[in-house]
Each structure stands twice: as structure tokens, then as C-alpha cells.
Amino acid sequence: MEMHSARQLQQLPFYAPQGEECRLFEQAHASRLPLLIKGPTGCGKTRLVEHMAARLGRPLITVSCHDDLSAADLVGRHLIQGGDTRWCDGPLTRAVREGAICYLDEVVEARKDTTVVLHPLADDRRQLAIERTGELLQAAPGFMLVISYNPGYQNLLKGLKPSTRQRFVALGLDYPAPDIERAIVASESGCTDEVAAQLVRLAQALRRLTEQDLEETASTRLLVMAARLHVAGLALLPACRAAIVDALTDEADTGAALHEVLRAVIGDA
């Protein structure tokens, strides 16, 4: 396992560990095991992958999954250029060939045929079959498959089948503890420790709300956005209103309730 000095770690994409997730990621990579990261929106899933790819010295190919994403989008397709037909690798195929880390963000949003492609890569075979070219690719050394999703959004129509889930080592993330979250907000935005502490108190108050019909609550990402607006010159109250409260809901009654919490915690700062 590659070791890094304190100076080298400072040069990596910033990530504040919540527990043993960095070690688990390293061990999964060393053991050639795929990794499933689950957690709420904005809790640091993508930043963890970016940090660990740099830490491991592996190229990173990220795919933001969506409803129309198909297996062909991941694997590749034939394209016509200048009257000729040529094969163009998709992001998953490139990662397999290059030994990169392939990160499929919010994988359950993709079409169901994608999991069929992932299965041979997520077990001991580590193979990718390209039916349109007849190739059977063996994953290059260093290749790692990482997928993520938000359990809060899952329902019977969108979820991982047990046959898929049980191929992955699972890592659960949540919003960081207050002291870690303060450090993240201050580091990512350049705001003062006092402002970071206020924002974290606001997030904790909003996360305690259970009577409001919110799909998501205040994420660490939203706190950083508010802090950056404040550092750029906007007063803290309107910065929080724009980046946090108004971003969480379009409902008038819910918005009014959230604004009351905002004023109670931030005041007129």
C-alpha cells in the first residue's frame, strides 16, 4: 500500500474522514473488490472517491447516472465518421482497459440493463464482454468499480437487486459529526470558524425537523455553498436563504417554517 507524507496528503482533494472509510477503500482496492457507497445527498460520497483515486494514484472516470443511461452508454457504440464506422469505447470500457477507478454516481437511476454489464466486473471474473465487437476484456491492474446511491430516494421501483448488492463491499456515509463538518465548511469555503459553526448549528436544527415534508435536508454541500456566498461578500442570512433554505423546498408553508429556523439560528447576521 502506498504511503503518503503529511505534505502529500495536503495536496490531495480535501476530504475529512468520518471513520475508517479511507482505510476500507484502500483495502477494497488492494483486494480487487468493488465498492458500494450509500448515503444522503451532499454528505461527501463523490469527494471521498476523488480523494481516494488521487491517494491511490489511479485515474478516475465518473459517470452521473440518469434515467436514460443504458448499457451501451457505459460500454460504447459504433459511430460513423467520414463515411467509415468505428468503435468508440464508453467510460466503463475505458476504465477497464486503463485500470482506472470507474465511479457510477447514483447508479440506481440508470436503466436496469446496466446491472447486467456490471455483474461480471463485480465478481472474481473482473471481465467486460463487448457483444458488438466480440471482445472479452480482462480488467487491467488497478481497475476498481465504485457505485453510489442515496437510500432515502429508494423505492420498490428503484433499488439494487440482492444479486447486484451482494457483489459489493458496502460503505455507509452520513453527514459528518459537528466538529468534522465545521472543519469541512471552513476548509472548502475559506470562511471563519465562527461562521462555520453557525452554519453547522443551522444544519443540525434543520435536520431535526421531522414535521416538514422535505425530500432532503440541509447537506454539507449546501453549507459550503452558503459559506462561499458569505465569503464573497453576501451577508450570512441571505446567503443561507439562497443556498440552503430556498434550495430545500418550493412549498410556501414549508419555506416559511424553514425561514423561522434560519432566523432563530442565524439572526440578522
Helix/strand number for the chain, H first, E second:
13, 9
Domain end among 172, 205, 240 = 172
Q: Same structural domain for residues 113 and 216? A: no
Q: Same structural domain for residues 139 and 17? A: yes
Range name among 3-7, 212-216, 234-238 with the lowest pLDDT average: 3-7
Confidence of residue 212 (pLDDT cuts 50, 70, 90): low
> Tell me, what's the pLDDT at 62?
97
**Phi and psi for 135 in degrees, rounded to 5?**
-85, 145
In this prediction, residues 36-64 reach a mean pLDDT of 95
Asked whether residue 190 is assigned to any structural domain, the reply reads yes
Annotate 140-197 with DSSP letters as a single string: PTT-EEEEEE-GGG--SSS---HHHHTTSEEEE--SPPHHHHHHHHHHHH---HHHHH
Q: Which helix (H) or strand (E) holds 61?
A: strand 60-64
Q: Same structural domain for residues 149 and 53? A: yes
Q: Same structural domain for residues 73 and 152? A: yes
CATH of the domain at 62: 3.40.50.300
Q: Same structural domain for residues 87 and 205? A: no
Domain end among 130, 148, 172 = 172
Q: Same structural domain for residues 88 and 104? A: yes
In this prediction, residues 237-262 reach a mean pLDDT of 93
SS3 of residue 53 by DSSP: helix
Q: Same structural domain for residues 119 and 243? A: no
Asked whether residue 1 is assigned to any structural domain, the reply reads no
pTM, 2 dp? 0.88
Taking alpha carbons only, the member of 177, 195, 192, 178 closest to residue 239 is: 195
> Tell me, what's the pLDDT at 172?
95
How high does pLDDT run on average in the chain? 90
Better-scored residue on pLDDT, 158 or 119: 119
Domain end among 148, 172, 196 = 172
> Tell me, what's the pLDDT at 111?
87
> Tell me, what's the pLDDT at 5?
44
Better-scored residue on pLDDT, 12 or 90: 90
Q: Same structural domain for residues 12 and 57? A: yes
Is the confidence at residue 241, as pLDDT, over 80?
yes
Q: How far is residue 62 from each of residues 74, 195, 256, measured CA to CA in Å?
A: 11, 32, 37
Asked whether residue 225 is assigned to any structural domain, the reply reads yes
Asked whether residue 119 is assigned to any structural domain, the reply reads yes
**Phi and psi for 77 in degrees, rounded to 5?**
-160, 165
Q: Same structural domain for residues 132 and 187? A: no
Is the confidence at residue 156, as pLDDT, over 50?
no
Q: Same structural domain for residues 139 and 240? A: no
Range name among 182-191, 204-213, 251-260 with the lowest pLDDT average: 204-213
Asked whether residue 217 is assigned to any structural domain, the reply reads yes
> Tell me, what's the pLDDT at 8?
47
Range name among 80-89, 201-210, 251-260 with the lowest pLDDT average: 80-89
Number of compact structural domains in the chain = 2
Confidence of residue 114 (pLDDT cuts 50, 70, 90): confident
Range of the domain at 256: 178-266
Q: 50 with 12: CB under 8 angstroms?
A: no
In this prediction, residues 140-160 reach a mean pLDDT of 80
Q: 77 with 88: CB under 8 angstroms?
A: yes
> Tell me, what's the pLDDT at 239?
97
In this prediction, residues 43-47 reach a mean pLDDT of 94
In this prediction, residues 30-54 reach a mean pLDDT of 95
Better-scored residue on pLDDT, 85 or 200: 200
Asked whether residue 197 is assigned to any structural domain, the reply reads yes
Q: Same structural domain for residues 139 and 235? A: no
Q: Same structural domain for residues 215 and 232? A: yes
Confidence of residue 81 (pLDDT cuts 50, 70, 90): confident
Better-scored residue on pLDDT, 231 or 160: 231
Can you read off the three cell numbers belonging to residue 12? 490531495
Is the confidence at residue 132, as pLDDT, over 90?
no
